[in-house]
Amino acid sequence: MSDGSCQDTAGGLDSPLHRARSASRSKPLPGAVGGSRRFTGEVDESATGSVNFLLDRTPPPPLWQHRGPVPVYRFEQQRRDYTDLAAGRVLRGAPGATAFPVRLASELAQRAFAHAPSSGALLLYDPCCGGGYLLTVIGLLHGARVRGLVGSDVSPDAVSLCESNLALLDPDGLRDRLGRLEQDATSFGKDAHRDAVASAGRLSALLQPQAPLRRTFVADAGDPEAIQAGLDGLGPDIAIVDVPYGRASAWAGRATGTGALLASLAAALRPGAIVAVAASKRDRPESDRFERLEHWQVGKRALAVLRLR
């Protein structure tokens, strides 16, 4: 999200302070991949410094096999150290903004993938992209399932930052970022810069042989005509969005809540498109234009996977 129509909201609701303090006593994994400035998970002692452990995932059982409440994490059952994906390290962060939790981003994406009309590579769209952190994280962790990533926001500055982050999914873009980080490490000699250089090197192992399609454009999330014009014929398979709420985010433009956003997406997307939403419990993602496939709660967030009727 952004400081425009949809802004970056506070991350880490799946890792409260008491959990973070406990996890901080675990042995950190050299070269682990990560997503917020706070340690968000315990480390697998058998893992090495490679990022390959992120790719070794055992598919969870189908959702219908679960009894009782829907599990918070069906796919991302292991907590991991996501330091390499921390906003402001290699991925760029907006000043004053906080990043969506990586573990939750991966879970939300995989639940959306499970309901997608195709089992192949998919086109994802974030109408509240902000700095593009959510899209970039998904592109890195699940690049094999992604053929394209599209982001829009009402803020031109946010869209520019999103474009810079999505460029990291291209080997040339990540190589350019690595060069700048190496310059900082040489000029300033700080451990933080050297750590960022190491992180960039490890993230390069997650890149796909062919970079995904990338598109960004300025559009009000509440204006379906502007969204359709920006998509310019592209038909997203999945729209994934963390909508504004809380002190670190605010709506701007026509969209003034999750209901308005869903109404806009219903007019802009094709029937059958999947929409994965994270919102406040006070602004639950519901609309009669969509079939609700899954819904669950993580802390103060209400999450849902919907299908456009």
Beta-strand pair 213-218/146-153: parallel
The two structure tokens encoding residue 63: 């959702």
The pLDDT score that the predictor gives to residue 256 is 67
For residue 282, the tally of other CB atoms under 10 A from its CB is 10
Q: Is the pLDDT of residue 4 over 50?
A: no
The pLDDT score that the predictor gives to residue 58 is 53
The residue ranking higher by pLDDT, 75 or 22, is 75
| pLDDT digit string, tens, across residues 222-274 | 999 999 999 999 999 999 999 876 544 455 656 667 888 999 999 999 999 99
Residues in CB range of 129: below 8 A, 6 or more apart: 1, 2, 6, 135, 151, 152, 153, 158, 159, 162, 216
Distance CA 256, CA 100 (A): 20
All structural domains of the chain with their residue ranges? 17-54+62-308
Amino acid at 258: T
Q: Is the pLDDT of residue 284 over 90?
A: no
The pLDDT score that the predictor gives to residue 25 is 39
Beta-strand pair 274-280/301-308: antiparallel
H-type helices in 155-257, by residue range? 156-166, 171-188, 191-203, 224-231
Cβ 2 vs Cβ 158: under 8 Å:
yes
The distance in angstroms from the start CA to the end CA of the chain is: 26
The pLDDT score that the predictor gives to residue 158 is 95
The pLDDT score that the predictor gives to residue 30 is 36
Top CATH class, 17-54+62-308: alpha beta
Q: Is the pLDDT of residue 309 over 80?
A: yes
Q: Is the pLDDT of residue 65 over 90?
A: no
Q: Is the pLDDT of residue 3 over 50?
A: no
Q: Tell me the CA distances in angstroms from 15 to 38, 198, 230, 261, 304, one per residue in order.
A: 9, 25, 36, 28, 20
Cβ 212 vs Cβ 149: under 8 Å:
yes
Cβ 283 vs Cβ 276: under 8 Å:
no
Cβ 243 vs Cβ 128: under 8 Å:
yes
The two structure tokens encoding residue 35: 């997503």
Q: E strands of 70-131, at which residues?
A: 122-126
Q: Locate tokens 């192992």: which residue?
A: 205
For residue 267, the tally of other CB atoms under 10 A from its CB is 14
Q: How confident is the model at residue 6 (pLDDT cuts 50, 70, 90)?
A: low
Per-residue burial over 224-244, b = 16 or more CB atoms within 10 Å of its CB, e = otherwise: bebbeebbeeeebbbbbbbbb
The pLDDT score that the predictor gives to residue 43 is 32
The pLDDT score that the predictor gives to residue 257 is 77
To the nearest 10°, the Cα dihedral for 242, 116, 143, 228?
Answer: -60
| pLDDT digit string, tens, across residues 26-39 | 333 333 333 333 32
Distance CA 289, CA 140 (A): 31
Distance CA 219, CA 6 (A): 11
For the segment 269-291, the average pLDDT, to the nearest whole number, is: 92
Question: Would you give the distance in Å from CA 159 to the centre of its chain?
Answer: 15
Cβ 165 vs Cβ 171: under 8 Å:
no
Q: How confident is the model at residue 218 (pLDDT cuts 50, 70, 90)?
A: very high
| pLDDT digit string, tens, across residues 128-176 | 999 999 999 999 999 999 999 999 999 999 999 999 999 999 999 999 9
The pLDDT score that the predictor gives to residue 68 is 52
The residue ranking higher by pLDDT, 3 or 74, is 74
